[in-house]
Amino acid sequence: MAHLRRAPLAVLCLLGGAAVSTCAVLLHDYAWGLVLGVVTTFALLVALPPGWWSRLSFAVGWVVVLLQATTERPEGDYLVSSDASGYALLLVGTVVLAGGFVGLVRRGRPAGDSGGVETAP
């Protein structure tokens, strides 16, 4: 039942990632557009809580749009150009997807950590 309550959050994060990626793809040819797209993407990726329903769904939405934009259009051209800004955008897509999966890793306590409780002398 808890999964059903998280589904709207996942859809919202997926659509948010797709929207940010669309803007980044359309503006990456301009230096300011690439910087704005990268900063916005990483700010949202860091701000979202880790997990399947938030950070990973944002990353998947972002990367799916990027992958769609890298395919050849009917006119024979591409939305993501094969220059420095295009390759930078592809690199950002790789980092975004990795960041989505890194959020799934649970952080454990180091061995011997008492959880912040000191032992009596």
Cβ atoms < 10 Å from Cβ of 68? 13
Q: How far apart are CA 77 and CA 64, in angstroms?
A: 19
Tokens read off for 48: 């979202």
Query: Which string of DSSP letters, residue by residue, matches 48-74?
Result: SPSSTTTHHHHHHHHHHHHHHHHSPPT
Reported as a single tens digit per residue, the pLDDT across 87-98 is 999 999 999 999
Structure letter (DSSP) for residue 104: T
Domain ranges (residues) in the chain: 9-102
pLDDT of residue 66: 93
Reported as a single tens digit per residue, the pLDDT across 4-62 is 777 888 899 999 999 999 999 999 999 999 999 999 999 999 998 888 888 999 999 99
pLDDT of residue 114: 59
Q: How far apart are CA 39 and CA 29, in angstroms?
A: 15
- Whole-structure pTM value: 0.80
